[in-house]
Structure 1
Amino acid sequence: MSDHDQAAIDARPRLSRLEAAWVIARRDFVAVLFSRAFLFFLVGPLFPVLVGGLAGSVGGQVSRSAVTTEIGLAMQADDSAAMIAAAETLRPQLGRSIPSMSVIPEARGEANFDARAFVNERRGNYAAVVTGTLAAPEVVGTQGQIDRWSGPIELVAATALQTSPGTFPSSSSSVVARSAASERTNRIRTAQASQMVLFLLTMLLAGMVLSNLAEEKGNKIIEILAAALPMDAVFMGKLFAMLGVSFVGIAVWGALGWSFWALAEDAIVVVTQTDFRSLPGPAVGWPMFLLFGIIYFSMAYLLLGALFLAIGAMAETVREVQTMSMPVTMMQLMVFFLAAYTITLPGSALETFAILFPLSSPFAMLARAALDETLWVHIAAVAWQAVAAFLLIKAGSLLFRKRVMKSGGAGRDTKKRRLFNRSPAQQSSIEPAE
Structure 2
Amino acid sequence: MTDLPLRPRLSAIEAAWVIARRDFVAVLFSRAFLFFLLGPLFPVIVGGLAGSIGGEVQRDAVSYEVGVAMSPEDTARMVAAGERLAPQLPFALPRLQPVPEAAKDPAFDARAFMEARRGNYAAILTGTPQSPRLVGTEGQIARWQGPVSLIAGHALAAEPAAFPPVSALPVTISAADERTTRVQTAQIAQMLLFLLTMLLAGMVLSNLVEEKANKIIEILAAAIPMDAVFMGKLFAMLAVSFVGITVWGLAGFALFGGAGDVITRVTGFDITNLPAPAVGWPLFVVLGVLYFAMAYLLLGALFLTIGSMATSVREVQTLSMPVTMLQLMVFFLAAYTIKQPGSGLEMAAIAFPLSSPFAMLARAAMEPMLWTHALALAWQAVAVLGIVKAGSLLFRKRVMKSGGAGRDKRRAKDAKGLRAAA
The normalised TM-score by structure 2 is 0.73
Q: For residues 25 and 371 of structure 1, do their structure 2 counterparts lie closer, same or farther at Cα, with a shift above 3 Å needed? A: same
Match of 1:35 among 26, 30, 35: 30
Show structure 1 runs of 5+ residues with no match: 69-82, 103-155, 163-167
Q: In structure 1, what is the equivalent of residue 112 of structure 2?
A: none
1:8-63 deviation line (CA, Å, top 9, x unaligned):
68x32111111110111011000000000001001111122123323433454466
**Amino acid corresponding to residue 220 of structure 1 in structure 2:** K
What corresponds to 2:247 in structure 1? Answer: 252
Comparing 240-249 and 410-419, the one that deviates more: 410-419
Select 1:188's aligned residue among 177, 183, 194: 183
Residue 225 (structure 2) aligned to one of 225, 230, 234: 230
Displacement after TM superposition at 1:183 (Å): 1.8
Q: What is residue 116 of structure 1 aligned with on the other side? A: none
Give 1:175 shift.
Answer: 5.2
* Aligned positions of 1:344-383 closer than 5 A: 344-383=339-378
Distance 2:43 2:378 in 1: 36
The equivalent of 1:88 in structure 2 is: 82
1:87/1:101 contact within 8 Å kept: no
Does 1:174 find its partner at 2:168? yes
- Find out whether 1:209 has 2:204 as its counterpart: yes
| Aligned mates of 1:235, 1:208 — CA distance in 2 | 14
- CA distance, structure 2, for counterparts of residue 87 and residue 260 of structure 1: 44
> 1:294-305, aligned counterparts within 5 Å?
294-305=289-300
Equivalent position of 2:41 in the other structure:
46
Please give the alpha-carbon distance, in whole angstroms, between the structure 2 residues aligned to 1:223 and 1:50.
Answer: 43
Shift of 1:228: 1.3
1:285 aligned onto 2:292: no
Q: How far 1:313 sits from its partner (Å)?
A: 1.8
Which among 52, 56, 64 is matched to residue 57 of structure 1? 52
- Measure the CA separation in 2 of the matches of 1:197 and 1:346: 21
Counterpart residue number, 1:427: 418
Point out the more displaced range, 187-196 or 258-267. 258-267
In 1, Cα distance between the equivalents of 2:236 and 2:23? 6
1:356-415 CA distance string (max 9 Å, x none): 0001100110011111111000000000000000111111110011112212x3431255
* Aligned CA distance change for structure 1 residues 320 and 265 (closer, same or farther; 3 Å): closer
Question: % of aligned pairs identical?
Answer: 64
> How far 1:318 sits from its partner (Å)?
3.9
Q: Residue 168 of structure 2: SS of its match in structure 1?
A: strand
The residue that corresponds to 1:147 in the other structure is: none
Deviations 1:183-206 (A, max 9, x none): 211111111111111111001000
The match for 1:333 is 328
Shift of residue 222, structure 1, vs aligned partner: 1.1
Show the counterpart of 1:411: 405
Secondary structure (helix, strand or coil) at the match of 2:9 reads coil
User: Which residue in the other structure is 2:92 paired with?
Assistant: 100
Paired residue type of 1:411:
A
Contact 1:84 / 1:101 at 8 angstroms: preserved in 2?
Answer: no
Amino acid paired to 2:18: V
Alignment match, 1:71: none
Q: Kindly tell me: are residues 392 and 274 of structure 1, through their superposed partners in 2, closer, same or farther at Cα, counting changes over 3 Å?
A: closer
Q: Counterpart in 1 of 2:124?
A: none
Deviation of 1:172 (Å): 5.6
- Name the CA distance, whole Å, in 2 between partners of 1:221 and 1:316: 14
Contact 2:294 2:357 survives alignment (8 Å): yes
For 1:73, the equivalent position in structure 2 comes to: none
Q: Quick one: structure 1 residues 343 and 87, their matched pair in 2 at CA, closer, same or farther if it must change by over 3 Å?
A: farther
Verify the 8 A CA contact 2:301 2:391 in the aligned structure 1: yes
| Corresponding residue for residue 11 of structure 2 | 16
Q: How does 1:92-131 map to 2 (within 5 A)?
A: 99-100=91-92
Higher-RCO chain (CA-CA 8 Å, sequence separation at least 6):
2
Aligned counterparts of 1:305 and 1:31: Cα–Cα separation in 2: 18
Kindly tell me: are residues 279 and 323 of structure 1, through their superposed partners in 2, closer, same or farther at Cα, counting changes over 3 Å?
closer
1:77 aligned partner: none
Distance 1:95 1:252 in 2: 45
Seen in structure 2, the aligned counterparts of structure 1 residues 430 and 181 have a Cα distance that, compared at 3 Å, is: farther
Give the alignment's TM-score, normalised by structure 1.
Answer: 0.71
Change (3 A) 1:98 1:301: closer
Name segments (4+ residues, structure 1) moved above 6 Å: 94-97
- List runs of 5+ in structure 2 lacking aligned partners: 65-76, 95-153
| Counterpart residue type for residue 88 of structure 1 | G
Counterparts of 1:285 and 1:394, CA distance in 2: 36
Map Cα deviations across residues 284-307 of structure 1 (whole Å, 9 max, x no partner): 111111111100000000000000
Distance in 1, matches of 2:267 and 2:317, equals 42
- How many pairs does the alignment contain? 346
CA offset at residue 312 of structure 1?
A: 1.6
SS of residue paired to 1:406: helix
SS in structure 2 of the partner of residue 346 of structure 1: coil
Preserved CA contact (<8 Å) 2:349 2:355? yes
Q: 228-237 or 262-271, which moves further after superposition? A: 262-271
